[in-house]
Structures are given as C-alpha cells and as structure tokens.
Chain A
C-alpha cells in the first residue's frame, strides 16, 4: 500500500516542475522579442532628433497609443497564456488520470509518451516506458499480430483496433481499479511466475507532429476482465457445448435404441400380422376340424373343415354346445375343467362324433387350452379317422389272409410229417384190429384181452382224429376270433404238429413252462402259427448241423415284470451272422434254399396284431433264441 502512495506523490511533483518550466520559458521569450523590436527601430532610420516637435509630439502620442494597445494586447496574451496553461494542465491531468491508456509511438514503435494508465497497463513506470519498444511488452505469442497491426497501420494510415496479451508478472503493484491484474514495470523486472496474462485493446491512429514526424497514437484498454470473462464464457460455453454434445450423443444413442425398438415393434407387429395370416390360412385350410369352446362348452369358433367332418357349417355351430358334435366330449370336459386335472390336454383320444346326417364319425381328438383375460378356452382339434380305421381293418384282413396263406404253405411243408403222424395211429389201429380178429377166430376167444385191445384201438382212432382236427383248425381260414387261452396249452398244441419233424431230425425238445400263467385273450391259431414258425425255423437251423452233433430246442414260457408273457424258442444251431440278424425279420429274406422268407415277418405281424413284440438274439456258433412278448391285457381288449 505504501508503495502505491509513493508512486502517486511522485507523479504530482512531476506536474509542478512542468509548470515552472513553462513560466520561465515565457519570460525569456518576452525579452527576446523586446530586443528584436529595439533592433528593428534602430535600423529603420527614423531618428527622433531630426524630427519636428509636432511630429515628435504626434509620434509620442502614437507611441502612447501603441503602448496602451500593446499593454492591452499583452494582457490579452497573458490571459490567453494563462488560459492555455490552464487548459494544458487540464489536458495533462486528463491525460494522466484517464483510465484509458494512451501511448504515443514513433514510426518505429518506440514509446515517446505514455500516460499513467498505459504505464500501469504495461506494468512499467511511466518514465521508464519512454524510448522503449512497445513490442517488448507484448506477449511473445502476440508478437506477429502486433507487428502486422503496426504495419497495417502505417501502410493504411487508418485507425486500427488490436487486442493483445501483454507479458506480465505478478510481483508488480496492483492497480487500484484493476486489482485483478498484476502488472510489472518492465519485462526485466518480472519474476517469471506470471499467472494471469493482461489483455489490452489498442485503438491506433497515425498523426504527424509539429516536426512533421509520423506518430502513432495508441489508446489501450484493459480488456483482461472482459477477455477473462470471455474466456470463462468460452470455457463455460465449451463446457456447456460438451455437455450438450454429451447429452446429444446420449440422446442420439437413446434415439437409436428407440428407433430400433420402434423397428422391432414394427417388425413384430408385421410378424404378428404374418402369423395371424398364416394361422388363419392354416385354420381354414386345415384338414382337421378346429373347434374352440368357452368354459361352458359353448362353441366360439369353428373352421371350414368342421363342415366336412360333421356336416354343419361353422356359422351354424357358433353358440351351440360342443356336446352336440362330440357327445362324449362334454362329459370329459366337465371332469377336466377342474384345474388340477389336465391329463386330457395334449393327448390324442379316440372319440365318436355325431354327423348332421345322424351317423357316427370315428375321430381322433386333442384338446389345447388357452386363456385370454382370465377367460379359459379349449380348442378341440378333431380328425376324421374313418378312412384310417377302415384301412386298419383292411390291413388286418390282409394280415389275416396273408397269415392264412402262409399257414397253408406251412401245412404243405409239414404235410409229410403230419401224414406220418396220422399214419402211426392208423397202422396201430390196423394191427390191433387184426389181432382182435385173430383172437375172435380162436376157439376160445380171450375176451379180456380182446377188450383191452379194442380199447387201445379206440385210443389210437381218437388220437388220429385229434391230429386231423388240429390240422384242420390250423389250416382253416377264419375271421378274427379271440378267446382266452393258456399259453402253455398253445405251446403243446403247436409242438404236437411239429413232433414228426423233430423226430425225423433227431431233435431233442425240452420244456420249461411256468405254471399258473394268467390266460391270454388271443387268436389261438395265430399264436400257434407263430410258435410253429419259430419251432420250424429252429428245426431248419439245426438240420444244418453235422449229423453227430446234438440238436436241442428248448421252449420257455414265463411272466415278465410288466404284466406280459414271454415265450422263448431256443436252439443250439449255427446262429446268425450280423448280416443275417439285420435282415432276418424282413419279408422275403431267407437263409433256406427252399424258403419263402415269409415265416418270421408273418410271425412278427401276427404278434404285433396282438400288441406284442417279436425279438431274437443270436450268437454265431452257439444258437439262436426267438422270443415274443404278449401283454396280458392287450389294447384291443379294451375296445
């Protein structure tokens, strides 16, 4: 603070000195004028001594007038001088106290004159500024601009505005009015830790001084605050812009995602429409009847196929109960409506539909459930299976026919064996009767023996009859005829027809039949046919063994875990190689020279017609086992 006060006093002293200098100058000037005037008179030659008194008196008078005039003029001059001095003082005062810096530069940029404000701005005492280059005070970065400014000014001779940054330092006294900015008296004084640059604005004009030299008058304004404000604003602006940019980019991103969502929505809407169109076309083009009912079984919608199945037009059905179409359905539906019981959903059930014309249509029906706004709906999809049913029936008949044909073939193949079998009791009968005749021809017929022999004869006749009956039964074409049967009895019956062949081929047969097996509901003849087929396959396999090798067939029957009965026919024949195993069950595949290749495939069909399965396992060189499994309760029993 004290420094600043000192500075101020210094400037006041300077001003007083200037005043006295001016007065002295004035006095000297006057003396010089007096001398000049005296000299001029002396040289004029108008000598008073040579003049008349009048003239002298006239002259004197003139002189007196002149003197008064001069005095007056002098007074006026003095007054003007005083006024001038006063104005000059005022000017000097204004010049120095102006908050705007004024600088007068020479053509080469050297400071000739500066006011206090300029000195303050440039950070250098006023008298130290004189004869220094203004360029020294300009920030190095602005040097080029400064010289361009000066150059333009000198060439164009017009006023120029220029704003620049000054070099400054921080240890210079702070200007009272510009307390935020630190200035230094000289660059050399700067301590180097200048933090805030001072910004100035220059207005320049070119003038010619009294010596006709070119001068540059500069007006300097401190615009640091403005600049800083500008910078702050710029900074804030930048910040703001950045923020705006960030937000803009965020917005762009969110906009993009929104657009994507919109696009997705559009697409899904399109897909929905497409799906709806597809579903609609499926709905109407479907061969299956599609009937939707509400929770009280009232038909809500039906598709076109319903008409082909039931004879009603879809619009005829809406509003009516589905029980009119599928009588069994409503009952099931009522059961099913309880939420825990969903077992019918998705399952295909066989139901009967009522056609408009009164006849019954066999249907496959599946039910799907959906709900909209808490309302449950059930879609019934029904398919007319009458064609399939009749085809199944046909297939069954074909199978029966085929089975019959193969049975006849089988019987043909077995005929010689069976003939032999029948011949046995016949020839026994023949022998017995001959013996009886011989006995009766005796003188004293042994009646006891005769009775015994006749009894034996009868047994043999019955036996022959049984074989013939079995054969006839086996060959007879018959409609599907199922009844309960003990599997072990069927095995014995079948074996009975094969015994001749077994004997002939020296095959040992053993049984391992489980007792008390539950009865089966089967077609006797067909199951016997399967057993015979399997037995004969084994016989044929065993025939290929060398004569001395033991030949063995074992028949097993047993209960399996899942309520089925398994029958196995096992031989110790040569077995099947993998290739044969793969083909053995296919029709027309045979390993026998004279075989048709139908036996096993027919057997399989027959077993499958009884809801059973036919399998085998075989080991090359060890033998083959064929076995079938029949369920105790077959599906077809239930209908």
Chain B
C-alpha cells in the first residue's frame, strides 16, 4: 500500500470563514435596523435628519425602508452568513473525511469569489427595489443564474473530491452534505423559473396557488436543506472532534438521516394552513410536519449525547458551550415547528411574531451558535496558534445567549398577545373587539425588547470577529499537511446500479412509498386497498429486515463506499414529496381551480402599480389572504360579497402575494367596483384620497401605525414604457390580457392615471413638498407619479367575477374532489 503526503486546502476554508463573519455582522446589523423600524417608523430614514443635524432632509429613504431591507436581512443571514459558514465547514471536514485535498483549487477560488460577488449584487439590488417578490427568492434573474452556476461549481468540486477520496466509506457528515447539494439545486431551480421582461425584472412562471405552493416547498426546504442538513453534517464532524468522544449512536444517524431527507420535503404546505390551498395539501403539510419531530430530535440526541461524556469541559471550554446550546436550540425549534404546524395552533400563530421568534431560535440559537463554536474551534488550527482570548469567547457566549432568550421570549409574548387580541370578540361574539392598530400598539414593548436582544446578539458576533481577527494576527496561516494511505481504485465505487437499486431495502421502501401515494390519490375503496398493501409491505419489510439484518447492514456499508448510487437514492428520497404535491396542482386546469370566483384581470396602470407594490416589498407586512377562520373573515371580509379568499381570486397573480406576516392588516378586500361614471377608476374600501394621505403619512390616517412614509412615490414617475413587454410576458404565462397595441397600452394607463389624479385633486389632495402645485398643474404632475399607479392597484385588489361552479368532471389527482368529507 503506497502513501502520499498531502496538504489540505485550508486557505479556502479561511476565506469562507472570514467572509461568513463579515457578512454575518452586516446581515445582523441590517436585522437590528429592521427591528427598530417596527418600533419607530422614523428608523426608515427620518432619523438621518437627526444624526446629520438636518443636513439630510427626508421623511423616509427608499433604500432603507423595511420592505426593502427585510429581504436584504434574510438573504444576508441565510445565504451570506450561514452560506459561507457552511462552505467553510464542508470544505474543511470533507477534505479530512476523504483524506484528500479539495479536487480543484480553481473551482474553490471561483466558488469563493463568485459567491461573494453574488452577495454584493444582492446588497445593491435589494435596497434598490429590484426583486422577484418571493421570500428568500427575491434576487433578480441574472443573480439567480449566477447562484445556480456557482452552486454547480460547488457541487462539482465536492463530488470530484469524493471521487478522489482515500477513505473508502462515507462518514455521516458527508451524507448530509450530499443531501444539501442535490436538494438545494432542485429547489432553487424550480422556484426561480421565470420569464424576464428586462435585464432586471421577470415574472415567475407560476401564479396564484401554484406559485404559493412552489414558494413554500422552496421556502420551507431552504430551512431544511440550507439551514439544517449542512449544519447537522457540521455537527457530526465538529462536535465529536471538540469533545474528543465517539458519536452516540450510529443507527440513530442512519434513521434520522433518511427520515429527515424523505419527510422534510412534504412539510412545505404548513406555511399555507387555513388558506384557500386545497385541503389535502394542508393535511399532508401538517401531518408530515408532525412526523418530523422525532427524526429532528434524533439529530439533537446524537449531538447532545455525544457531548455527554464531556460535561466537565462545559465550564471551561466556550466551544462546548456553544455546541451544547446550539443543539439544544435545534431541539427546541424542531419541537416548536411541528407544534406551529397543527392547524388549530397555526390559526393563532400564523401571520404573527410567533413565527418570527421560531425562525430566530433556529437561526440565532442553532445556526449562529454552531457557527460560533466552529469558528472558535477552527481559528487556532487554521492559524496554528491559541485562541486569542477564551474570556472574550465566553463573553460572546453569554451576551449572545441573553440576546437570543430576550429575542425569542419577546416574540412569543408579541405573537401570542397579538394573535389572541385579533380574535377577541365583543360580547355576543358577532364583532371584533380590537382594531388592528390597537393590537400593534399593545406589543410595542416586546418589539423594543426584540431589538435589544438582537442588538446583544450582534454585539456578541462583533466580539467574535475581534477575537478571530486577533487570533489570525498572532498566528500565521497554516495549511495542514498529513501522510495518507492511497486507496486503490477497486476499493471504492464499484457497485453497479442494479446492485444498488435492486436490493431488498430499496425495493421495500420504494414499493411502500408507491402504495402510500396511491392511497392518497386513488378513488374511494381503492385507496383503502392501497393503504392495506402499504401496511403489509411495511410489516413484511420489517420481518425481512429482522431475518436478514446482516445482509441489509452489509448492503448499506457497501452503499457508503459508492457515492454515486448513494447520491441518486438521496435525491430520489428528497424529490418524491415535491413531485407528489406540486405536479397535481400544475395539471389542474386553471378554470377548474377557482372555486366560485375568478379574479378580474388588471388594467395596464394597475399592473404598473402592482409591480411597485412588489418592488417596495409590501408583502413583507401585508397579506392578501383571508383564511377560512372567523376572526379573519370578520376583520377583513365581513360583507356578504366578501368573505374568505377563494383560489380564483389570485389565480393570475405572478408572483402570488398571499404574504406570510401581518405587521399591517390584510389587503385582500381593499379593492372595489368602478366609481360612478368612471371609465376605469375604482374605489374600494377606502377612498383614493385616503390612500394618498396614507402613503404620504400613514399616521395621519391610522394613528399608531408603524408603516413608513413613502415620499418618493410622489416624486418618481411610474414606468409605463416597459408595460407592453411585461404584458406580453404575462400573456405568454396565460394571463388573459386583451389584445392591445403598445400605444393602446400606454394610452389606457395614462387615461386611468388622469382619471384618478383628477379625483384626487377634486377631493383636495395636497403635496406638502410642492405647495406651488394646484389645480390642473397638480393633476398633471400626479398623473405621472408612482403613487397613482399604486393606488390604482390597491383599489383593484380582490375584485372578482362570479363564475359557474366548474363542471362536475373530477379533476385528475385531487384527493379532495371525489371524497369530500360527509357533512353531518
């Protein structure tokens, strides 16, 4: 057996780690700013007047309004902070677990610099209001393509390293890394499918409920496969290393790995519970979320119980502290997740800060503390020295921990309080007790505590940055060199595909899943038969396993020595859930899937306004979805012709705008009928002048509101020139636009803008910044502004025409259609 001396590529690890700390601080700083904006609207730009002693004059600065920087915050912490941290951890551990240097220095370099360029691109485009309008998928299409290219480069670099490995078998960490790489690629590509209308704008190819379903299949699994699986892989490498103890249980690793990879994907619809999403999808979303509890806790057990032999170090070693608390937070948030996925709990928690608290206990506790522990463990090794200050790392730990606890408990209080208040009725139960804004004012103090907690957490990471920087300065960058035994080619990757997929475990798993899916979709009675077959297959599988557990174990050991079939099986397990949930909704004809109402198509000006609504990130605070719940209907759709939101009411919306958080009220019923005698002007729940005043100064119309003012909408001109292209793309996507020439489109938009401006001027609209304008001049000025387009859109939201109940013909692949529960 020959040996060789190899040097690991630790420079790439150092780079990613440094980038993670840098972007982490940037992302958290933006997060703290966004948090203070919810307490004090002045933080949206007015505060600049105070800190520059009046040099800057601004009621609100577009680049830093909440709607634009909340996406910047989420993208920065997910893809820049955790992303870079994951790349550092993956590259460090993979080289050592494979006993080989990273496959290509060039790919590593392109990966690093490419990823940083994408982040810079995001940091420029998002504040500029360039967005796709879908959460955690906001980046514009050229950046999407860059992300895919860089991700593929990462994948190639990783799998090439696996192929060159000098260690026959793949360790648990690598399983999780493989799952991350293949699943994120799938999720990212599907959810970003779009048709460009220009270099900086595109419409997603899915609309309405389909877009919502795809979005949360992606959104939930970004959490699963970007914030969970790679971190679990990192846990399996760095925790045993840090405590110098064996992993608690190998079989627990196997079971929770496969269970997580298979089950996670199905849970996406729990973000759309009680909405107009078809019930069978809601049911699957809830039930699979509940089934995630145990597999997630198995990961926590393997982490915590590996630490068990080393509790004595907990007092002295900050790294162990970070890991122990991180894994504990993982356990806590994976218990909270299934809890929030129960439809009745979700009825209260959804759209409130409880969800925000939940994701932050995962992000700050699990991701952030795993990152910190890993950084403190890596730094002395990467710069071959001691950690500069253990005391400072301990300080980071305590400051950070207090920060998380303040943050999370403030969000529990805020979320539950607001959820309860929103559903509290007057005596008699026929009307609601509180106005929306009253509930917002009640949670003012938790909101301040949240900013404070977030600030403490940020302070902790600044301490971390200083500590790592000083460690790097006192040491010198070192790439580890080791002697490895070279592995002959015939010792790995020899399994044929038929051997890999023709084995008993795979056959039983595939058959069991196939019959489970048939059970979902087959008509009455046939479904029961399928269920029985699935159960029998399960029992049979278990008995075969008991008899020949040795063969099964040997098969799995062999599989671990063959990365390609192993990867294919992982991909298959992760893909099934998405296929089963998404394909049926894509097949259902739009005309069938509308319930009894069909959205009225937008006019050109309304579309221009809608694009402004999306660009300003209004969906970050306003939903457009009245759930099938009494408090929702009473608050947002009490009239007979309003009620809960139907599927058809947003069927032409690209992207859909159902939203996920209500910092302001729902807007699904803001729109209304054509005004008397008007050609295209609508007046909905509120008057045009109300909206005009509201965008200028939200507190004038809604005292106590925390919405930022939007002065720039009164200066910038609406983009009518690009409308023909946008409308052409929408037509391609199946939105029923009437045939119009370019001139007709522009003329229509102008006519409607003039009509609205005229009404505004007549009603007494006044622009404080332009006191010189009045009468005809003001009308002419206003008709070109963005605010008039936006008002046109808001007055259109939720308008519909009644349609005949769709034909009785049963739509394909719809478990609800042919077996609606018996009404008793």
| A and B from one complex | no
Interface residues of A (CB under 8 A from B): none
